[in-house]
Structures are given as structure tokens and as C-alpha cells.
Amino acid sequence: MQELIEKAKVLQEALPYIRRFHGRTFVIKYGGSAMTEPELQESFMRDVVLLKYVGINPIIVHGGGPQIDETLRGLGIAPRKVEGLRITDDRTMEVVEMVLGGRINQQIVSMIVRHGGRAIGLSGIDDGLLLAEKLQPVQTKSGPVDTGRVGEVREVRPAVLQALVTAGFIPVIAPIASDRDGKSLNINADTAAGEIAAALRAEKFVLMTDTAGVCDRDGKLIQSLTAADIKRLRDAEVITGGMIPKVECALGALAGGVGKVHVIDGRARHAVLLEIFTDQGIGTEISRERA
């Protein structure tokens, strides 16, 4: 009986959040261990379907770097990166489109459908969702490096997403864009998700990572941050390495009109639900200013 009472308490704690976010849009960047470990995959898909059934509109933007690397190696192509960006020649771009826009995208759609949701897979090319320009050469100690078919998003046209959400679907987006000549470009998944969240003025933008969130100098999770806090922590070199582009992506989304950004640990089961529907949360919540 006590176990049942505890479950009822969890539902009661979630109720105010369900009421507050009913009809709102959440953009979720899905990646890391949550994409590769079967138990976490199943947990995430069930949670996404639950969000839809309680009246929230989830939109998923997924990565797939490890899967691309694996496929490239299987074809005898050595993956190459510079400053964290994949050097994407024409052959590599074919693999990116095959893995992201094909295999991974359809796997996610299939799992959502299997758990009772309605999902549609697409990429940034569909209906001109993401328009991008080729990234300028990256400056390194050895000189400029051309990253090939890597793009920067210049425009988001979210009408297709709004139509799918209204029709009851969960859009699942591969981060591939096209330029003005119709040539496909590889886009960083965090960046693509942030740009889409801003274009939709989403209530929340959730970044799933393989870390607890943003941590202080002692490695302790910081549960709440503002844009000013992030600048201070960057200047003090507390936020470093791979977390820098993630918080920059978060700040860009907030500046574009997103309500709040959440950096959460995708290695935890039900991470999205625990962050959104509990009073304490499990990750780092980032807002424009202190409430």
C-alpha cells in the first residue's frame, strides 16, 4: 500500500507542471548514451509518448555521431574532425544522410510508434525547414581548415513542424540542412535543435548530455543558472571544454525567445520527466534572468 501511496504523491507533484505546460512545445535534443543503450532508448521513447498524451508537444532533434563514425570505418573511411566539427567531404556527407536521415531517424520513429505515439521523421531539408550556409574555414594553429559540407543555420521555416504538431504527430528531425542551391549540409545537432526551439519560441529546450549538467569547480551540479551566471563562470574558467558550446547554444535559444533551457543527464532513466515534472529536477535549468 505504501508503494502505491508514493506513486500517487509523484502524480500529485507532477499535476501543476502538466497543467502549466499543457499545449506548450518542448524541443528535445536527443543524443549521447540515451541513443545507444537499449534500456535508455526504451525509457526515453515511453517518456516522449507520455508527454504527448498529457498535452505537451515534444519535438525531437537527434544526433548520431558515433553511428556515423562506425559506418564510415566500416566503409574504410577514417572519420576526421577539427575543433569538434566533422570534416564532411562529399562521400562523408552521403554517409551522414544515410545514417542520420535514414537509419537513425526511422529507428526513433519506429520506437515511438511501438509505444503508442504518432511520429513523422524528417530532416531540415523537408519543406525548407533549415536553410544554411557553408561554414567558413576553421582557424587552427596550423592554419585554416575547410570542414567541407558543414553548415551554419541562417533561417528556420517551422510551418511543417507546426502542421505536424497540430495533426497530433511527434516530429523527429535529422540535423541536415540545405543551402540556397539545394545542396545538403551537415549541421551540429545541438545548434539545429536550439535554432528550431527559438523559431518556435518553445517553452523549453532540453539538451540531453552524458554529464549531470553544468557543474561548479568541485564537480557539484549547479541546478539553476542565468545568462549572467554563465558569463561569470566562463570568465572564471569553471565552464570549459565541451560544455562551452552547449551553454552558448542555450544562450542563443533563450535570446531567440525560448522560455527555459535544461541541460540534463541522459544516462538517467526518465531524465526528461524527472527534470520537467518534479520540484527539484535533476539537471541544470538556464533562464534569461533570475525569477
At residue 84, the pLDDT reads: 79
At 237-255, the pLDDT tens digits run 999 888 888 999 999 999 9
Check pLDDT > 80 for residue 2: no
At 6-39, the pLDDT tens digits run 656 767 788 899 999 999 999 999 998 889 899 9
Check pLDDT > 60 for residue 217: yes
At residue 6, the pLDDT reads: 65
CA 97 to chain centre: 18
CA distances from 52 to 157, 165, 166, 186 (A): 23, 10, 12, 29
Domains of the chain by start residue, with CATH:
19-287 (3.40.1160.10)
User: Does the pTM of the predicted model rise above 0.75?
Assistant: yes
Q: For the chain, give the mean pLDDT.
A: 92
Check pLDDT > 60 for residue 4: no
**Residue 257, amino acid:** G
At residue 3, the pLDDT reads: 62
At 152-211, the pLDDT tens digits run 999 999 999 999 999 999 999 999 999 999 999 999 999 999 999 999 999 999 999 999
At residue 271, the pLDDT reads: 93
At residue 100, the pLDDT reads: 96
Alpha helices in the chain (DSSP H): 2-21, 33-36, 38-53, 65-74, 90-96, 105-114, 159-166, 189-200, 227-235, 243-255, 271-277
At 259-279, the pLDDT tens digits run 999 999 999 999 999 999 988
At residue 83, the pLDDT reads: 78
Q: Which helix (H) or strand (E) holds 140?
A: strand 138-140
At residue 289, the pLDDT reads: 79
At 80-122, the pLDDT tens digits run 988 778 899 999 999 999 999 999 999 999 999 999 999 999 9
Contacts of 140 (CB under 8 A, 6+ apart): 82, 83
Q: Could you tell me the three cell numbers for 197?
A: 526551439
At residue 139, the pLDDT reads: 86
At residue 203, the pLDDT reads: 97
Residues 55 and 195: their CA atoms lie apart, in Å, by 23
At residue 121, the pLDDT reads: 97
At residue 1, the pLDDT reads: 61
Contact call for residues 273 and 217 (beta carbons, < 8 A): no
